[in-house]
Structure 1
Amino acid sequence: MTAAKQAVAPESRNEAAPKLILSAPRADFLQKGYVYVPFRVENMTILPLYAEIHGEEVTHLKPRIGHLHVKVDGNEWSWIHAQTDPIYFSTLPSGVHHLSVELADAAHAVIETQTMELVVP
């Protein structure tokens, strides 16, 4: 597994910056082509609240509200992961794959991006 970090959105000067921590994928799941990646987020609460649905005021809530954007193998499309359960999906064919996870605020502004290489036997 390799991981890369990239900060994108500016942080507030009054509070600690949100931080995304990805754990290693579960090897027993990868053996079958499934991806199971535990994660945690510091200084932000993961909830399914979005500015375009719930109004711009959700971008000003304290603690900050956010979610993840998940992409596989450089695809333009992504899905939103707005819960604290591990990132879990299936099935990937054998080979090397790349998982990109963006930590975003309620207005989808990206705060941090991490990428991870996954090898499915």
Structure 2
Amino acid sequence: MVAIENEPLPKLIVDPPLPEPLAQGRIFIQYRTENLRVVPVFGKGALDVSPRIGHIHITIDDAPWHFVDASGETIILVGLEPGPHKVLIELADPTHKVITSETVKFTVPDPKSLKSRH
């Protein structure tokens, strides 16, 4: 086992939304982490767990709030209005301190314009 202070820094890798669901107004954002496991464990005592553990914070369109996800699964968003959007994904430690972040930008198509193509 490696002492936590000697472990490589955590990384967050975020893919753009999957194109097929996005064309239907559903947003599927896949991500992965390196040097950190995403698990639902919180609190100061978890800071010393090796290898590192944490979770993600998700903020949509600069909202004044975010939601927390510790599942490690694909982020799925529905119900966004047609038009441009951005999603801030923050990798956080068990005390919610942000380690790193990525922003994904995309445009939800207008369903009316999709119907006119058929």
Q: Which TM-score bucket, shorter chain as reference?
A: 0.7 to 0.9
Q: Distance in 1 between matches of 2:42 and 2:54?
A: 8
1:33-44 equivalences under 5 Å are 33-44=25-36
- Alignment match, 2:46: 58
Q: Distance in 2 between matches of 1:91 and 1:19?
A: 29
TM-score, length of structure 1 as denominator length:
0.83
- Choose between structure 1 and 2 for higher RCO, CA contacts under 8 A separated by at least 6 residues: 1
Structure 1 segments of 4 or more deviating over 6 A? none
RMSD (Å), alpha carbons: 1.2
| Secondary structure class of the residue paired with 1:57 | helix
Letter in 2 for 1:83: S
- Alignment match, 2:102: 114
Larger Rg computed on CA atoms: 2
Structure 1 runs not aligned, ≥5 long: 1-11
Give the C-alpha shift of residue 13 in structure 1. 4.9
Task: Give aligned pairs, total.
Answer: 106
- 1:86 is aligned, of 66, 74, 80, to 74
1:17-36 equivalences under 5 Å are 17-36=9-28
- 1:75 is aligned, of 63, 72, 77, to 63
Q: Distance in 2 between matches of 1:59 and 1:48?
A: 13
Residue 104 in structure 1 maps to residue 92 in structure 2 = yes
Give the C-alpha shift of residue 113 in structure 1. 1.2
Q: Distance in 2 between matches of 1:32 and 1:48?
A: 31
Identity %: 34
